[in-house]
Amino acid sequence: MRFTRDELKRLLLPVLIAAVLAGAGVFLLESAGEALAAAERELAAAQTERRQHAERLARIAEEEREVKQKLDVYQRLRELHILGEEQRLEWADAVTRIRKERELLDLRYRVDRQQQLFSATGKPANVDFYASRMSVDLALLHEEDLLRFLSDLRDSGNAFYSVRRCAVERTGQAATGVSIAPRLRASCEIDLITIMDRAAKS
C-alpha cells in the first residue's frame, strides 16, 4: 500500500507523538538507571563504612586490654628515657660514676655513631629504633667487676643496654703485694638502644 502525500502528512503528528513518548520513556529509564547505580554505589560505601566501624568496635575490648597491658611498659620506657633522643652526656656521666664507685682500675670506652636498627610501622607515624654501639675495655681484678659494671650500667637508664659480646682473658700479670695489678682484661660491645616514637606527645 502506497501512501499519498496527504496521508503521510496525517501520519506525521502521530509519529512525532510516538517518538516523543518513546524518547520520554527512554529518558525515564536512563535517569532511573543512573539513580539506581548511584544509590548502589552509595549503599556499597555505607556498607563498607558500617563493616569497618563494626569490626573496630568488635576489636575495642581486645584493644582496651592491650592498651592497659602495654601502657605500663611504655611508661617505664619513658621514665628510663629509652624513649626519646639519645642522652650521650648522661651515658658518659654514668660510666664515670660507675668507674669511680666500683673503683675500676682502667676503663676505656667508645660510642660509635647512632644507626637505625629498623622502623616499625605505626599510626599516625612510624616508631624508629636506634642503636649506638659502645665498645668498652676494662681491667679487672675479678670477673665480678665486669658483671657489676654491666649491672650498674643497665640500672643507670637513658638507653636499653643490649650486650652483644664480652671477652675476658687473663692478663698474665702476677699479683704482687705492693700494688694492685689487674689479673683480667675484658672487652665488651654493647648496643645502646633508644626509641623514637614520632607520634608521642612531648
Partner 1 sequence: MGPRRILYFTAEDHYVYRAQGGSLELEAKFTGDDLGVTAFREHLRGQRRALYAVLADLAGEDFHEEAIPYLRGADRDAVIQRRLAQRYRDTRLATALSLGQALAGERRNERLLLTSFTNTQQLAPWLDALEEAGTRLSGVYSVPLLAPALAARLGVKRERALIVAATRAGLRQCFVDQNRLRFARLERTVEMVPQALAMFVRSETQRLLQYLVTLRALPREGAPVQALVICPPGQRAVFEQALPSDSRVVFRTIDMAEAAKAVGLKRAPEGTAAEALYLHLTARKPPAEQFASREERRRFFVWQLQRGIVAAGALGFAGCALYGAAQWLAVIDTREQAAAARAAARQAQQQYERITAAFPVTQTSTENLRVTVVEFTRLARESALPEPAFVHVSQVLGKFPQMDLDALTWSIGRPAEAPAEKGKPARQGDLAVIVQISGRVNATQRNDYRAITGQVQSFAAALASAGYQLVRTQLPFDVTSEGTLSGDIGTGPDTGQAPRFTITIANSLP
Interface with partner 1 in residues 162-181 (CB under 8 A): 162-170
Give the whole-angstrom CA distance, residue 27 versus residue 136.
85
Please check whether residue 94 is in contact with residue 136, taking contact to mean a CB–CB distance below 8 angstroms: no
Of 69 and 179, which CB lies nearer to partner 1 in the complex structure?
Answer: 69
The nearest distance, CB 38 to partner 1, in angstroms, is 8
| Nearest CB to partner 1, comparing residues 19 and 92 | 19
Task: Output the smallest distance, CB 199 to partner 1, in A.
Answer: 4
| Residue 2 interacts with partner 1 (CB under 8 A): yes or no | no
Contact set for partner 1, span 101-160 (CB under 8 A) = 117-118, 120-125, 127, 129, 143, 146-147, 150-151, 154, 160
Q: Which is nearer to partner 1, 90 or 197 (CB)?
A: 197
Judged on CB neighbours under 10 Å (0-12, 13-18, 19+), 163 is middle
Question: What is the rounded CA–CA span in Å between residue 181 and residue 173?
Answer: 7
DSSP H helices in 80-170? 88-102, 143-155
67 binds partner 1 (CB under 8 A): yes
Min dist CB 54 to partner 1, Å, is 5
Residue with cell 605505626: 122
Closest CA to 84 of 24, 160, 135, 162: 160
Segment 40-59, which members bind partner 1 (CB under 8 A)? 40, 42-43, 45-47, 49-50, 52-54, 56-57
Cα separation, 91 vs 89, in Å, equals 5
Q: Where are the beta strands (DSSP E) in the chain?
A: 106-111, 115-120, 127-140, 160-170, 184-197
| Piece in contact with partner 1 (CB under 8 A), picked from 30-38, 88-96, 108-116, 132-140 | 30-38
Count of CA atoms in the C-beta half-sphere (13 A) of 150: 19
| Length of the chain, in residues | 202
As measured in angstroms, the least distance from the Cβ of 160 to partner 1 is: 7
Minimum CB separation of residue 178 from partner 1 in Å reads 25
User: In the complex, what is the shortest distance from the CB of residue 168 to partner 1, in angstroms, rounded to a whole number?
Assistant: 5
Total residues contacting partner 1 by CB under 8 A comes to 85
